[in-house]
Amino acid sequence: MIDSLLLKLVTFASSDCEQTKHSKNSYRELGEGIGPLTPTATDRKTIVKWGAATGAGVQDSIGHGAKSAGKQYSFREIRGVEMTLQASFSKRKRLFHVHFYLQEGFNMALASSSLYEPLNESSAAALAARLGLFETNSVLQCEEIGDGNLNLVFRITDSKSGHSLILKQALPYAKVIGESWPLTLDRARIESSALVKQAELAPGLVPEVCYSDQTLAVTVMEDLSHLQIARKALIEKKNLPHLAGQIGSFMARTLFYTSDFALKPHAKKQLVLQYMNPDLCKITEDLVFTDPFFDHDSNDFEPELRPAAEALWADSEVKLHAAKLKKKFLTEADALLHGDLHTGSIFVSEEETKVIDPEFAFFGPIGFDPGQFIGNLLLNALSREEEDQDVIFEAIEKTWYTFSATFAASWKQDSRERFSEVDGYLDHTLGQIFEDAIGFAGCEVIRRTIGLAHVEDLDGIEPYEKRIQVKTSALELGRKLIKQRHNLTEPGQLKRFFRHAILR
């Protein structure tokens, strides 16, 4: 039965070549055809086998198990159908469109009775088991490990095999604030979609997505527990020889290949719509670009920092420059940003680098991601004694030079823009990205010092008097980075600039 259905769908899609164009509704109707079926044990084995054989590397899924005629279809069954179809269509350029409308049909026919509700350790483990993400005889253990500001994060482990996965669920509000700060659950869709896109463009540098569900606002992904958060590793002065180069490559590839330089205009504009993210952009607009420059209730800092904060708020020049940077963030849809690329959003070891948490992803100015990363490296440099800072400035230089070299190579090989051939245009583009990155780094340094969300690099400094001294220096550094970004043209200048800017 399942075999015949698959044959019907594949035959239907195979006929959709140059001569005929099936409508969206036709694909939806075919997708709906899965709904009434009750697979036998043999059917299940066939689907799982086909899915495993033909679906390697496919990271999208149709959603959680679907109910029809009182029968529960497992994740493996539904995903097996989908992966078989994807494999059948893979040689045809219409894969994305066919898959999208078939998925829509699946979702319409297999309308789930599940409604959103926050998970706990018990229900998260039950969901993982119901989805077939672990073997049927697994003994699952689950712990809530999230320490972030917005989401629930669970680690689910099979105590027999040791196999584990991470289940992340968006809450309908900011976890750090509570229900008084509502947030859209759509950010879970954006995050899972961004991870899949980033995996395509920068393989090996993001966790593998195993499953996602828009209704439950859930993403299940590879467990990276064998790695350490980069911020902690840097605070502990670990040796991270590949961090800078791998992040430079990640940024160059994800930013170039989602920009107008690489995409056809229509495709680019469709992606911009797909990644519209107003709620989380509003957080950045407020907490990075606005509130720290005014005496706002959201700001949080030690009383001893008030004189330095008030000096910042009275500086009309820095406010003017911050306004210009905010306008760039609001209006320049250059490329698909990670949107929150600080050292707390990166897992590392001496050999590996994995970028996580792209729920702030949207189309914005290319310099923003490099600026966030550089700004957080500067925060770590501020926490160190002078003799320990050189490794951080070397990392900043390696990050930028890897980024610029990778971006330039992609430009020369794959740019669709006719003006890319004009002498000087590439240098102008990279120069503007670097200037913007320095300004965005300055905003990041300031907001992490007196804004709502702090970092351990500064807050962990002891004794208290030294912490206040370093944070005062951080505010001065941030101000000068913003106001004097036009004078910095390459990262080798940053160490001298840093030493002259801070107050020791």
What are the DSSP E strand ranges found in 305-461?
A: 335-337, 346-348, 353-355, 362-364
pLDDT at 496: 96
pLDDT at 286: 98
pLDDT at 112: 42
Give strand pairing partners of 220.
167, 211
- CA atoms of 62 and 117, how far apart (whole Å): 19
Q: If you count DSSP H runs as helices and E runs as strands, how many of each does the chain have, helices first? A: 19, 14
**% of the chain surpassing 90 pLDDT:** 74
Give strand pairing partners of 353.
348
Residue 174 has φ and ψ, to the nearest 5°, of: -75, 120
Kindly state the helix (H) or strand (E) to which residue 149 belongs, with its residue range: none
pLDDT at 114: 56
Asked if the peptide bond before residue 463 counts as cis, ω within 30 degrees of 0, the response is yes
180 band by pLDDT with thresholds 50, 70 and 90: confident
Give strand pairing partners of 346.
355
pLDDT at 398: 98
Topology at the third CATH level for domain 121-222:
Phosphorylase Kinase; domain 1 (3.30.200)
pLDDT higher at 54 or 323: 323
The tokens 């994740």 sit on which residue? 75
Lowest pLDDT segment from 39-48, 119-128, 244-253: 39-48
Measure CA 60 to chain center: 16
- Would you say residue 377 has pLDDT above 60? yes
Residues 381-410 have pLDDT tens digits of 999 999 999 999 999 999 999 999 999 999
Kindly state the helix (H) or strand (E) to which residue 73 belongs, with its residue range: strand 71-73
β-pair type (346-348, 353-355): antiparallel
β-pair type (71-73, 209-213): unpaired
- Would you say residue 263 has pLDDT above 80? yes
The per-residue pLDDT of the chain, averaged, comes to: 83
Which residues, other chains included, contact 194 with Cβ-Cβ below 8 Å and sequence gap of 6+? 275, 336, 338, 358, 359, 361
CB atoms within 10 A of CB 89: 21
Residue 258 has φ and ψ, to the nearest 5°, of: -115, 15
Which amino acid, residue 15?
A: S
- Taking each helix axis from N to C terminus, what angle separates 2-15 and 24-32, rounded to the nearest 10 degrees? 170
371 band by pLDDT with thresholds 50, 70 and 90: very high
Interior angle at CA 374, CA 372 and CA 378, nearest 5:
115
Residues 77-87 have pLDDT tens digits of 444 444 444 44
Residues 135-154 have pLDDT tens digits of 989 999 999 998 777 899 99
The tokens 């670097």 sit on which residue? 434
pLDDT at 147: 77
CA distances (Å), origin 256, targets 43, 249, 275, 357, 417: 44, 11, 16, 20, 12
- CA atoms of 498 and 504, how far apart (whole Å): 11
Could you please report the per-residue DSSP string of 362-376?
EEE-TTHHHHHHHHH
Lowest pLDDT segment from 30-39, 124-133, 146-155: 30-39
pLDDT higher at 351 or 35: 351
pLDDT higher at 243 or 74: 243
Residues 44-90 have pLDDT tens digits of 334 433 333 333 223 233 333 333 333 333 444 444 444 444 443 33
| Distance, first Cα to last Cα, the chain | 76
Could you please report the per-residue DSSP string of 224-268?
-TTSEEHHHHHHTT---TTHHHHHHHHHHHHHHTTSTTTS-HHHH
99 neighbors 89 (Cβ within 8 angstroms): yes
- The tokens for 197 are 């896109």
pLDDT at 503: 60
3-state DSSP assignment of residue 72:
strand
- CA atoms of 495 and 501, how far apart (whole Å): 10
* Mean pLDDT, residues 195-211 taken together: 98
Q: Which CATH number fits domain 228-501: 3.40.950.10, 1.10.3720.10, 2.60.40.10, 3.90.1200.10?
A: 3.90.1200.10
CB atoms within 10 A of CB 241: 11
pLDDT at 409: 98
- Would you say residue 477 has pLDDT above 50? yes
- Taking each helix axis from N to C terminus, what angle separates 306-313 and 425-450, rounded to the nearest 10 degrees? 140
* Mean pLDDT, residues 104-124 taken together: 66
Which residues, other chains included, contact 423 with Cβ-Cβ below 8 Å and sequence gap of 6+? none
pTM listed for this prediction: 0.80
What would the 3-class secondary structure string for 156-225 be?
A: EEECCCCCEEEEEEECCEECCCEEEEECCCHHHHHHHHHHHHHHHHCCCCCCCEEEEECCCCEEEEECCC
> Of 410, 238, 232, 261, which Cα lies nearest the Cα of 334?
261
- Would you say residue 245 has pLDDT above 50? yes
Lowest pLDDT segment from 174-183, 234-243, 483-492: 174-183
Asked, colleague to colleague, whether 121-222 and 228-501 share their fold, the answer is no
Which residues, other chains included, contact 236 with Cβ-Cβ below 8 Å and sequence gap of 6+? none
- CA atoms of 237 and 457, how far apart (whole Å): 11
Residues 351-364 have pLDDT tens digits of 999 999 999 999 99
pLDDT at 201: 98
pLDDT at 226: 97
SS3 content of the chain, % helix, strand, coil (to 5): 55, 10, 35
3-state DSSP assignment of residue 244:
helix
β-pair type (346-348, 173-174): unpaired
- Would you say residue 18 has pLDDT above 90? no
pLDDT at 103: 42
Any idea where the domains of the chain sit in the sequence? 2-109, 121-222, 228-501
pLDDT at 368: 99
- CA atoms of 245 and 243, how far apart (whole Å): 6
Which residues, other chains included, contact 31 with Cβ-Cβ below 8 Å and sequence gap of 6+? 101, 102, 103, 104, 105, 106, 107, 108, 109
- The tokens for 281 are 């952009």
- Would you say residue 42 has pLDDT above 60? no
pLDDT at 90: 39
Which residues, other chains included, contact 180 with Cβ-Cβ below 8 Å and sequence gap of 6+? 173
